[in-house]
Copies of this chain bind each other. A is one copy, B any other.
């Protein structure tokens, strides 16, 4: 795999009470490092891609630890060391009828302190093929929205393929601008987009009907953002905190493809399932550029496996994903 991929975003320390304990009660936390774009990058690196991750961390043990974790997956971190704190989020695993809870504690982090001009995009994008970003970065501060635009312009100028995950988190958008005021200006640079119909108006400022078909929704998006070539959306049905059914659709500028669906009966950790999908998608688009259905199936199978793995990052190999995609059952012990 010779394509070089750049991802950009915040890496956070995740703290989770073990064994379904509640945040209120737990006196132990399991630590993972993750974040939407870091998760995509790590999974791609584990698939064998050449990945760099652009971020900012404080110059202390926790910042070093986050970078060390990235390196362990084979990701090369490019980190501006500044600011005072590593962003944190607390994740309380749900069970059955009790939903999982995420408590963000990322205000005033080193990453949130990044500003336009602090990163030399031209150097970073030199010789790179792909740039991946997500809406989370733009939601954190206005400076980060501006910085995202700076990155997108540079990537566009150098001809990189650009992918984004809208990743709309209403509680994060609180610096005074709405997502719909910011995101369209950034999405226009994208070739590949992951988003759902719920995001259409709130994120992209594109109104859709309640019962509008996804084909129609994606065509509206394409009209608004003509550079888009691939649009995907993931779906989750019949879900409680411990089990659900997942699937996805992909619109390849021509038609809408539907993936196989997986009934996931026992969820170990669903954080990062969307990022696992995104990594699978990018891997597929690069590896099988002609075969959208295969790419879609790979992405969904990757996302399915992520639900069985603790932490934010899909630790599955290409072999693991391919086996599931090809019909292997989880019911046989591999010896």
Interface residues, chain A, CB within 8 Å of chain B?
Answer: 15, 18-32, 60-62, 64-65, 68-69, 71-74, 84-85, 88, 90, 92, 94-105, 107-108, 169, 171, 236, 238-244, 262, 264-268, 270-271, 304-305, 307-311, 315-316, 320, 324, 328-335
**Given A62-B90, A107-B85, A265-B243, also A97-B30 (CB < 8 A):** no
8 A–B contacts from the bound complex (CB under 8 Å): A96-B330, A97-B304, A97-B329, A99-B329, A101-B334, A240-B329, A243-B266, A270-B333
Residues of B within 8 A of A330 (CB): 94-99, 239-242
Shortest A220–chain B CB gap in Å is 26
Residues of B within 8 A of A105 (CB): 84-85, 88
| Contact between B31 and A61, CB atoms less than 8 A apart | no
| Contact between B62 and A73, CB atoms less than 8 A apart | no
| Contact between B331 and A236, CB atoms less than 8 A apart | yes
What is the CA–CA distance of A22 and B60 in the complex, to the nearest angstrom? 12
**Given A31-B27, A96-B330, A333-B94, also A309-B103 (CB < 8 A):** no
Which partner residue on chain B sits nearest A101 by CB separation?
Answer: B334
What is the CA–CA distance of A95 and B304 in the complex, to the nearest angstrom? 11
The 6 A-B residue pairs whose C-beta atoms are closest, nearest first, are: A239-B331, A72-B72, A241-B330, A98-B308, A95-B308, A242-B266
